[in-house]
Amino acid sequence: MEHYDLLFKNGHIVCENEVIKADLAITAGKIVNLTVGIPEHSAKQCFDISNLHIFPGVIDSHVHLNEPGRTEWEGITTGSRSLAAGGVTTYFDMPLNSTPPTTTVRAYLEKKQLSEQKALINFKLWGGLVPGNIDQLAGLKECGVIGFKAFMSGSGIDDFQAVDGDTLQSGMEQLAKLDMILALHAESDHINLKLTEKIIAEGRFTGKDYQESRPVSSELEAVRKVIRLAKKTDCKVHIVHASSSRVVELIERAKQEGVNITVETCPHYLVLTVEDLTRLGALAKCAPPLREANEVELLWENLKAGFIDMIGSDHSPAPLTLKQGNLFKAWGGISGGQSTLNVLLEEGYWKHSVPLELIGRLTSTNPAKRFCLYPAKGSMKIGSDADFVIIDLQKKFTLQKAGLFYRHPHSPYVGKSFRGKILATFVLGKCVFRDQSYHSFN
């Protein structure tokens, strides 16, 4: 008789294209059997999870944990713990907000060493493309970066400068040769700075005013430039945090024309609006900004149509002292990495009838495929890594400040009610998070 390390009986397994009821067997951190009727005595530990769902672990391709250099903003220890509590089993840490930013081989090796020491879950690191570091790109690829990130507008961090036109084109030419993906914060400073100066001069500081200072046209102008350069250079590109259906649909047309381009949106663009920004202030400030309620609904339509490739949290935390005062001067970044699945289950599955398997693809399978981690990651198949999350879809809860694992426990989702409670998160077959109310994995 075969002996497994772990056996989960009678679970509803969220696979890539369907949800099946089956038993899940784990040995040495791998999925080794997925079928019905595996004998209980064939495993060292066996758990009956009838009425519960197993999702592939979330791959959050867009987080800012800010270490080294700004550990007081979040840090790898608290950041990875909060992600695990949200069902995340792999995260990609962005190159900026760390000091130094991950734009050189030396900075990468320092950050990797810290991550290996402190991360509770799997991680990958982004490299940065900034003016003056093109000679570092090949070395960063050799070290193991998951891809490269560039800003087409000001990042808010002095030591991570936006790319000028020459740097962007030269960088894309080099990354095409290296067969690497370039992720882009696509907004146009040409539009944003002019509008911001005008609005501030008029003494306007509301959430709607901030939204007007960074209009959808700014995103569209930047994305059109990226598409033109992608056609010219054959560079693989990925547009992060699209806030509008018009941006998503522009990218979808480019895909149909053969451009190697993907797009993410974030949970906050699927549930929060500019009215929430006015109500909550800088807790809900991000760039691009939150949009009108009709844009939220249009993004859900894009998501269900298959136009959106993945969901990244863009978890970008900061101390409350940086989230106060003038909305234009306050730090822009939403603490949300712990709530991605909760938002997608409540707003997607329950309210917008999004199939569970589509949620699994958006949060796990698609990023795994795009960034060449599949099928080891992002899959509930025999042979895949045992990275998964156990969820009670029926269980309701209201997010409280005390339930957050961030270094600074604030989030625009505090006070929101959700259906779909994360009970446990497993990385390579090891339980890295268990909800206090759930006692199966002591």
Burial degree of 390 (CB within 10 A; 0-12, 13-18, 19+): buried
Segment 300-325, tens digit of pLDDT = 999 999 999 999 999 999 999 999 98
The pLDDT assigned to 207 comes to: 96
The pLDDT assigned to 436 comes to: 79
**What is the rounded CA–CA span in Å between residue 299 and residue 251?**
13
Q: Are 304 and 352 in contact (CB under 8 A)?
A: yes
**What is the rounded CA–CA span in Å between residue 176 and residue 51?**
47
> Cis peptide before 39, with omega less than 30 degrees from 0?
no
Structure token digits, residue 362:
């958006």
Structure token digits, residue 383:
């042979």
Among candidate residues 302, 274, 288, 310, the one with its CA nearest the CA of residue 412: 274
pTM of the model: 0.97
The pLDDT assigned to 2 comes to: 74
Strands 122-125 and 127-128: unpaired
The pLDDT assigned to 1 comes to: 62
In CATH, which of 3.20.20.140, 3.40.50.10260, 3.40.710.10, 3.40.50.2300 is domain 57-370?
A: 3.20.20.140
> Cis peptide before 100, with omega less than 30 degrees from 0?
yes
- Parse the chain into domains and list their residue ranges: 57-370
Among candidate residues 279, 247, 284, the one with its CA nearest the CA of residue 262: 247
The pLDDT assigned to 325 comes to: 85
**Below-70 pLDDT ranges, the chain:** 1, 437-442
The pLDDT assigned to 337 comes to: 98
Cα Dmax for the chain: 77
The pLDDT assigned to 180 comes to: 98
